[in-house]
Structure 1
Amino acid sequence: MSNSPPSSMFYRPRLGAAADKGLLLVARCNFCRRARAYLATDLLQIYHRDTFLDDLFDGCCPRCGKSDFWRVRQRYPSNSDVGMLVVRRLAGTRTTHLWRDELYSAPAKDV
């Protein structure tokens, strides 16, 4: 029997299960050497409960865009994290209006 983890989608960790356990999610890009820690409960406000952890942030690094070096791991917070670990928290959401340029056309007249 092999020591590799199961590859079935039923064994892949999901965001909802991590939030229920109160886990920290550490997203790391080994290409640009960037690591960020998130609370799983904060990410539930943006993503669905059934989102796979590997699919967070569209499955690629937000900074360099590489997906080959992108990993999201889950871990329990420890007592040594208190006051030492920087956690990225959701401060709010912003909606923006999208505009496009198009040629003017006269309004249709109702007959």
Structure 2
Amino acid sequence: MPDLPPRRRTLIVLLSWAHARGHLVQVGCGFQAGVRYYVPDDLIRLFGDVDVQSLERKMKCGRCGRGDNVEVDLRLPSAAERQRMTIRRLVDIRVKRIPVWRDDAPQNSDP
């Protein structure tokens, strides 16, 4: 019988839990070298109170625009680390208005 790997316990961490404990959300792209840090409360305004790992499917890289290789993790920085970090803050949410048209065909009135 082959040896099976040990079961992994998946810990579901919600953004509200991370915000209450002072964590930051670290988002990195596998194609770009940069890493960005977000406040969980800002991400709650965008995506709702979701699991942190589900953000990997919802976010895109800010530099290359790709979303297929985004890595999301929680980070609890020390005070010295936090002073050196650049944290992205949500300023505004803009909704793009796209018109939807319908063609009305002329009505044919035959007696």
TM-score, normalised to structure 2, is: 0.71
Aligned counterparts, 1:1-111, within 5 A? 2=6, 5-7=8-10, 11-49=11-49, 51-56=50-55, 58-59=57-58, 61-62=60-61, 63-66=65-68, 69-105=69-105
Q: Matches of 2:77 and 2:106 in 1, distance apart?
A: 61
CA drift at 1:85: 0.7
- Cα pair 1:19 1:44 within 8 Å, conserved: no
Counting aligned pairs with the same residue, the percent is 20
**Number of aligned positions between the proteins:** 100
Q: Matches of 2:16 and 2:39 in 1, distance apart?
A: 12
Runs of at least 4 residues off by over 6 Å: none
Of 33-42 and 93-102, deviating more is 93-102
Q: Which whole-Å deviations, capped at 9, do the CAs of 1:14-58 have from their partners, x for residues lacking one? A: 212111112111011112334210011221212222x11122263
SS across alignment from 2:38? strand
Q: Matches of 1:83 and 1:20 in 2, distance apart?
A: 20
Q: Matches of 2:33 and 2:98 in 1, distance apart?
A: 33
Q: Which runs of 5+ in 2 are unaligned?
A: none
- Cα pair 1:22 1:41 within 8 Å, conserved: no
Q: RMSD of the TM alignment (CA)? A: 2.6
Q: Matches of 1:23 and 1:5 in 2, distance apart?
A: 23
Larger Rg: 2
Structure ranking higher in helix proportion: 2
TM-score, normalised to structure 1, is: 0.71
Q: Matches of 1:102 and 1:15 in 2, distance apart?
A: 41
